[in-house]
Amino acid sequence: MVSSKLIIVFVLPIIFSIIFGSAVMADILQKPDRELNMWPMSFSEGSSSHDSSLKIIGLSNQYLISEPIEVQVKVTDSSFSCGDLYITIYTSGNSDVVTQDGFFNQCLKNGDLFPINDTFSKIITVPGSYKMTVDLVSNKLSNISTSGIFTIK
């Protein structure tokens, strides 16, 4: 038979922590403009986040199949110092990733263009419409992103 000390020491704290955690989560989610975002880097169709402090340099509206897509990123946010840059190309109207590159530990110096000491250059061989999303995650874990649409003929 289970002793009352065992219930008090092991079971009761588990029950109280579940009740307390549920109450805190319910209170947080009741506030307006709050959402539970478990994976902040995920792509959701139809969302077009565009931050004016991040610009894609060199993205054309149209490319040929054999033509490389070469872009750089300019950051005008003075609060950004260092972080990781992710450039992802999706099929337009779909969340299928065609290609993605990550450039880590990119530090801003005197208006440099990203990626620093590296290049983003991809060739897409399937004609169609594509969406390029650029995400910049600072070391302080703040995220700015922008996107652009182009076609391959």
User: pTM, whole model, 2 decimals?
Assistant: 0.63
- Does the pLDDT value for residue 59 go beyond 70? yes
Predicted pLDDT of residue 48: 37
- Does the pLDDT value for residue 39 go beyond 60? no
CA nearest 92: which of 148, 20, 36, 50?
A: 148
Mean pLDDT of the chain: 81
pLDDT 10s digits, 82-106: 889 999 999 877 778 899 999 998 8
- How far apart are alpha carbons 29 and 26 in whole angstroms? 5
pLDDT 10s digits, 124-141: 999 999 999 999 888 877
- How far apart are alpha carbons 136 and 85 in whole angstroms? 5
Q: What is the mean pLDDT of residues 60-73?
A: 91
Percent of the chain scoring above 90 in pLDDT: 29
**pLDDT bracket for residue 40 (50, 70, 90):** low
